[in-house]
Each structure stands twice: as structure tokens, then as C-alpha cells.
Structure 1
């Protein structure tokens, strides 16, 4: 008996040590102090632009031909490979139009587009190999993103040129299954049982990602630019148009800068920037004119998000302009691993087609914890539905009910001016078991709004120096 006791005790000690060691190896959680904007500045100071050797590799010297007809996939590949093998530098795309398949970036490579350069991406699915990627918050093996970096360090895409996905109602877009994007009744689409639905079922069943093989015949569109499990990445100054699906997608990545980028893409699910499972992401000086959310912060869908278990955190949005889109800055709906420490400041939003300024969306299949969201200095012209919406019953695909109740707390908006507020200043609906907690408006002015707020299961709404349609608002009693 004594021997069994000591064996069991030692086994428990080993398990405890392994657990503590595993926790210690995880990235430390950033603690937001009494001044969240000081915390934001510390994050900004910690993220540096990647630097590159002073060497240039011009794609035309590796066989590339301008004109938009010749397929330059191999020329891009050769130039990038030569660059990385020689210690890195700049892969230069001169002025002109260059057709290519997907571009796979390597360590220490800056893909730089001169002013007047335009990369046209093929719409032939045969040009796109199957790689480890993600579709709507679920990992899988699918068509390569148009620009793809997988487990790379110190990589950038820069310059004043254009990245043109060439997506339209004749190729990628109709796969969504909506007639407004060219889909015709009776033709296949992503909603067929063996496509998106099967992928979600595989994740729920715990099928390994390597066995979730889709691609040809499954109609799951590729992301445009995807940094997958990367460090020290930058996207700067380029213009991106006509994406098949999500436009900028850092996933499982850290120290990411998106600076001075213009996104113009009005296809289905054309979110502008979707950080997912990512940390220390800076999005600044950008313009988003999109067919879906301008910025949507994510952390995995349902079982797959809980499997990965990496929250998106330390996301900073500064000096951006949001034009069309379902939401300006959004958290969700693929948010199962949670989101924390989001800072938004000095942004302008104005369009009759912009539905919401700040949005948090989840449901009881997604779950997830969203906390510490700080927003200040927004100039909002017009929004269609609400300035702030917190929807814990989001139900885009139907049947989105489960046992994972989402939680939201600590949402702060200050110094906001809204000229045309739409239907609601605040629209919030939480769960009775886990009500939304601590929402504060300070120095907020909303004009031409139908209702100041509509709230359900929200505890701790504070309205300080907040005016709606010219009247000073009082905080509601809980």
C-alpha cells in the first residue's frame, strides 16, 4: 500500500510539474493597467518593422514578362528563392502588369511593387496547390491563398503598386451560392453538404487538419493574403482589389504591421483585415471599402477554435478610414478562443452602406470571451443600424445554438461624434446566465438616431457626458 501511495504521489507531482511548465511556456498575457492607452503605447513600441538586406532581385531578370498574359509563377518563385537563399532583400516588381499564380513568400523577403506595377492573379483553380490554410475560422487543406507565407519570419509586401485578385461574378465570387454574385440555381456552391458543412463537421468530429482535404470541386474560396504562423510581417502601401474571399488574414502570427494599405473589394465575405489567433497586430493609416466587415478580429470557429485555443490579443487600429462594409471594427463571429486588448483610435467612418461602427458578435456554439475593448476619437458620419452592437445570438447560418455561452466585458468608447446614428446608439443582447458587463460611453454625441439604446442582459452601462439627439443621457439602472 505504501509503495502504491508513493507511486501515485510521484505521478501527481509529475503531472502538476508538466502542467505548470506548459503554462509557463505560453505567451504571457498583456495586463492592461489603469491607463489602457499607455498599455497600447507599450505594444506599439514593441512591434518593429522588419528590415532587409540592401539587395534587389528584379523579377524580369528571372524570366517575368509584363503584359498581363504570360504566366509568371515560376519567375516569381525563382526570384524569391534566390533572394532568401542569399540572405534576403527586395524582390522588385517593375511597372507593368504581371499575371501569376499564387506567390509563396520566404524568410527575409520584401516583395516590392513599384508605382505602376500590378500583379494579376490567375483565376484558374489548377494554378493553386493545396496547402494548410483556413476557411471561416476552420483549418483545412485547401487552395493556396494568392499571397501566402507559412511559418516564415521577417517578410513584407510593400510599394505603391496594385494586387489584383481578378475575382468577379464569373469566377470566384459565385461559389458563395448567392445570385447577386453570379451564382445560378442548380449549380454547385460552398453550401453543398460535402463542402462548408462537411468541413465544420470534420472539426466537430476531431478529424486531423491534414485529413480535411478540400480544393477542387468543393468551392471554398481562398484568402487573398495570408500570413500563417509567422513572425515580423508587414504589408505596406499597396492597393488590393477584387479578392476571392477574406483579404488580409494573419493567422497564428505575431508582430504584424498593416500600414497605409487600401482595400477595394466588394465581393462576398470580402472582409478587409481578419487577424485570427494573432498577437501584437497594428493596422494603421488604411482605407477599407469592402463587401463585408472592414476589420474583423477572429479566433476560430466552434470546436476548431477551442482546439487551437489561442486568443487574438493586442490588436491596434489607428488612423483608418472605413467606407462601405457590414462593420467598421468587429470582433467575431468566429471567436471561440476569445479576443482581448483591442485599441481603436482616430478613425473615420461614413457611408450609408456601413451598418455598424463597433460590433461584437458570437453565439452559444461559438462561445468565447471578449474583454478590454478601448475605442476613442472616432468621427462617424453615417451608420445604418447602430454605433455599438453586441450580439450574443448571431445566427447567420441558422441553428447556431449550443452550450458555450459567450461572455463580453469592459467595452469603453470615448470622444465619439456621430452625425447620423441610424436605428440605435447601443444595441446589446446578452445571456441571463452571463450578462454583458461594463460598457461605458464617455463624451459621446450621437445625432439623428431613432433610439438611444436597446439592451438586454447588460450590467453596468455607464453614460458619461453623452448626448443623444441633443439631450444629456443618464445611465440606466440595472
Structure 2
């Protein structure tokens, strides 16, 4: 209690004695019509000399680019609205010294900070980018990716806090944090459905990041962690957020040049967007959670837990590919990256569509050490025997998207080119009949499957395995009797152990096909 009182007292002292600079005192009118850029910048510059808070009282402040500076926090009081100018001329070009993939291509922002420390934006007000109404001097609407401004863009800055505000209507990504450290985004609300590339938050090669208690509804990706320069993403916590996206709600990638390390995502809800008209994606979203490495990055140490997903077509998508796009043309082409040490637990997903979830590497490059535990996914079903027999292409260099393979040959989870995989207490439920297996394994090694439960057609095997090695399956439980616990295919399949098999669930315990050898199977305990 004493410690709590000290915190409260200290916070009160800071709020009382912080230097406050009211934008009205520097000439701002707050009428929503007058361009306030210079008045606001004068307040920021004055505040920068002492450190403190730039206060926006209730009103509407029309402005072009605001240059945030060290030791300055913008504070929006209740009823205060910062409006982005509708004139492109009010957004000067900014070319960061730091090299990243879009150096020289992305140039503008409503609020910009570079090489700053101890900065923030907080309060109870709103920042509205008016991103669908920005025009050039000749009256032409600004459309190209490189011309449109972010609402917030911070580069190589430290000790940043974004708290309490509402953000809406960016012409590009709402927030872009590039090579920043010690960033805390807390209790903000984002609505972004007015233009292409309308992401919620983009964390780009940042370190020591907390995103907590946020709400977002966006046309493009929700919370995105990406890597487009020399610094990796490291030590990132995403917690207690509610996210809606027409594309991918939570994503690591697609841009993936350097790395993703020590990332925890927990206690989040992913739900359908309130906006049913789409620019990109699908009304209910493409994916719930996507982990993607295609440009040479190393992904290591990701923990995802306690997530409820309702709506997106594909609940889980993990992809190692080889697009090999570098961030600097002067550097060699990126080598193939890696994905390992991923834990996904306590996930419930509703209304997944016919596509299926997937975990895939590429030939010669396996994803490794993936653990799924206590997963419950409810699929719509509807797959046919023709779908079950589809040959799924590798698509090694393609843009990674959860729907990149179209309908998979399995309705639940497709795993290919993977090593050291654990599935425990995983359940797949069907809303309508599906002729495909629940689980597909191809070119996988050292896989443990314990207590798999799934709906399955009576003439379909619960699991299909092609060229699989060192497989342990314990207590598989279809919802009703089906063809077999596993259909083993391919002459490279070996060391497959089945135990705690309830024979009443299977017409035959296992099936051998496509050159597989019966001797590769070892049976343990059987129950009637």
C-alpha cells in the first residue's frame, strides 16, 4: 500500500509541476478552419527548451506536419481534435538518415519525430488524419504509396509513450515506429478505413516494446511487427488488446529482413470488423495470427497464448519462404531465414472457413520447435474428396498470405517441411461435413500428437502423413468412426508409433499407401 501511495503521489507531483505550454497561447485558434501548423510548432519548440507538455484544449486544430522534439509530450484534452491538413503542401518531405527498405519512398507524416528521447502523445482527444481527402495543388487526390503521409511516424527515437488517445483516418499506416526503443502504447483506440494500406500499428525493427489495452479496427493489418532494416525486433509484449482487421489481425512479417526475437502475445480478442465494405482483404479478415519469414530474417522465441479469434478465414498461419527481398540494394541478396521455438497455447477460434490453417517451410529449410497446446478451432467445413487429393504447390517465392495455397488438402492443419513439432490437446470441430483429413503431415520429423480430437468423414483418415519420420501419436479421438487413425504414404516414412488407440473409432487402425512400409509402424496399447 505504501508503495502504491508513493506512485500516486509521485504522479501527482509530476502533473502539477510539469511545464505546460498551451497552444492557444502561441496563436492557435482551434476553429477547425485556420491552419495551425506554425502555432503548434512554436509551442513544441518552446516546450523542448524546458521539457514538458504541449496542451490542446477542446477544439479542432487543422495542421500540417508537427515535428515532435525531445522531452515533449502532446496532451489532448477531452474534446480536442487534431485534424490533418487536406493539402499535400502542408506535409514537407522528411528523409531519415537511417537506411530502411522504403528510404526515399516514404517521406511524410502528420506527427514526425527523429532521434528524439522522452516523447509522447496522450490525453482523451482525437487525431484525425483525414486521409481520404488529401490533395495536391492542382486538385488531384494524393494516391501513390510514397506520397501519402502516416499519422504518426517516429524514427530512431527512445522512451516513447502513446496513451489514451483515439486515432482515425490515416492516408497510409496509422503509426510507424522505425528502429525505436522503449516504446509503450497503452489504451489507445484506432479506426482506419479510409484508404489503402490502412494498418493500425507497425513496429519496424524496434526493441523493448509494450502494446497493451488497445482497440483497433482497420482495413489493412492490425498490429504488425516487421523488419525492413539492419536492426531486429526484440523484447516485444502485446497484451489485452481487441483487434479487428480486414487482413491480418496480428502479424510478424511480411517484411522480414533481420529478425524477430523474444515476442509475447497474450490475452487478446480478434473479432470481425464493424466496417463491412473492404478496400483490401475480407470483411471478417484473412488471418487471426500470421508469423512470416520470407526475406532472410531469423524468428526465434515467440509465445502466443490466451487468444480468442472470431471471423478470420485462417486462424493460424506460420510460413518460412524465400521471397528474398533486401532492404538495401547495395547489400547481397538475403539468404533463406529461419523460424524456430514458437509456442502457441490456449487458442479458441470460431467461424474459420474452408481454407485451413498451415505451418510450412520449404524444401531443405524446415520450421523447427513448434508447440501447439490446448487449441480449439471451429471450421465451417465443406471440403470435397477432390480437395483432399489436391497437390499443394510450394510457392517458395510468393508473397506470404494465409490463403496463398487456396483450399488446402486438409481442413484443420497442414504441416510441411517441419521438425520437432508438438500438438497436445488440439481440437478441430466442423459445422458441416468435410471429406478432407483433419491433419496433414509431409516431410516432417519428430512429431508428437497427443489427444487430437476432430470431426471427420466416415471414409476419411483422421491424419494423412507423407514421407514422415519419428512420429508419436497417442489417443487420437475422431468425433465418430472414420477410415483410420492415419494414412501413411511414401517410401521415406519410418518410425511411426501409435498408442492408446481406441479401435472402435477406426475401421482400420492405420492405412499404408504409396510405397510406405508396414514395418515402419509400431503399435502400443489398444482399447476396444
The TM-score bracket by the shorter chain reads: 0.7 to 0.9
Measured in 2, the distance between the counterparts of 1:232 and 1:57 equals 21
Instruction: Specify the alignment match of 1:256 in structure 2.
Output: 183
Measured in 2, the distance between the counterparts of 1:292 and 1:136 equals 21
Instruction: Specify the alignment match of 1:426 in structure 2.
Output: 357
Instruction: Specify the alignment match of 2:423 in structure 1.
Output: 463
Alignment equivalent of 2:109, drawn from 145, 169, 187: 145
| Structure 1 gap segments, 5+ residues each | 1-47, 173-181, 191-195, 197-218, 397-401
Alignment equivalent of 1:332, drawn from 253, 257, 262: 253
Instruction: Specify the alignment match of 1:9 in structure 2.
Output: none
Alignment equivalent of 2:192, drawn from 265, 278, 290: 265
Q: CA deviation at 1:112?
A: 0.4
Alignment equivalent of 2:285, drawn from 354, 373, 376: 354
**Using CA pairs below 8 Å that are at least 6 residues apart, which structure has the higher relative contact order?**
1
| 2:130 matches 1:160 | no
Measured in 1, the distance between the counterparts of 2:99 and 2:231 equals 17
Instruction: Specify the alignment match of 1:110 in structure 2.
Output: 73
- The change in CA–CA distance for 1:424 and 1:57 in structure 2 (over 3 A counts) is same
Alignment equivalent of 1:317, drawn from 228, 232, 238: 238
Measured in 2, the distance between the counterparts of 1:77 and 1:106 equals 10
Aligned residues: 375
TM normalised by structure 2 equals: 0.66
What value does the CA root-mean-square deviation take over the aligned residues?
2.8
Cα distance per residue 1:15-36 (max 9 Å; x no partner): xxxxxxxxxxxxxxxxxxxxxx
In structure 1, the residue corresponding to 2:347 is in which secondary structure?
strand
Measured in 2, the distance between the counterparts of 1:93 and 1:259 equals 20
In structure 2, the residue corresponding to 1:404 is in which secondary structure?
coil
Q: CA deviation at 1:394?
A: 6.4
| 2:341 matches 1:414 | no
Instruction: Specify the alignment match of 1:296 in structure 2.
Output: 224
Instruction: Specify the alignment match of 1:246 in structure 2.
Output: 173
Measured in 1, the distance between the counterparts of 2:284 and 2:237 equals 24
**Alignment check: 8 A CA contact 1:386 1:424 kept:** no
The correspondence of residues 189-268 of structure 1 with structure 2, limited to 5 A, is 190=144, 219-266=146-193, 267-268=195-196
Cα distance per residue 1:19-60 (max 9 Å; x no partner): xxxxxxxxxxxxxxxxxxxxxxxxxxxxx9xx7851211101
Cα distance per residue 1:118-141 (max 9 Å; x no partner): 000112121122212499842227
TM normalised by structure 1 equals: 0.73
**Alignment check: 8 A CA contact 1:449 1:468 kept:** no
**Alignment check: 8 A CA contact 1:429 1:458 kept:** yes
**Alignment check: 8 A CA contact 2:290 2:318 kept:** yes
Cα distance per residue 1:222-265 (max 9 Å; x no partner): 22211211110011111111101111111111000010111101
Q: CA deviation at 1:61?
A: 0.7
Measured in 2, the distance between the counterparts of 1:84 and 1:60 equals 17
In structure 1, the residue corresponding to 2:249 is in which secondary structure?
strand
- The change in CA–CA distance for 1:449 and 1:158 in structure 2 (over 3 A counts) is same
| Structure 2 gap segments, 5+ residues each | 1-10, 273-282, 326-332, 382-410, 431-437, 439-450, 454-462, 470-528
- Between structure 1 and structure 2, the one with the greater Rg is 2
Measured in 1, the distance between the counterparts of 2:100 and 2:114 equals 18
Measured in 2, the distance between the counterparts of 1:461 and 1:221 equals 43
Alignment equivalent of 1:94, drawn from 39, 54, 57: 57
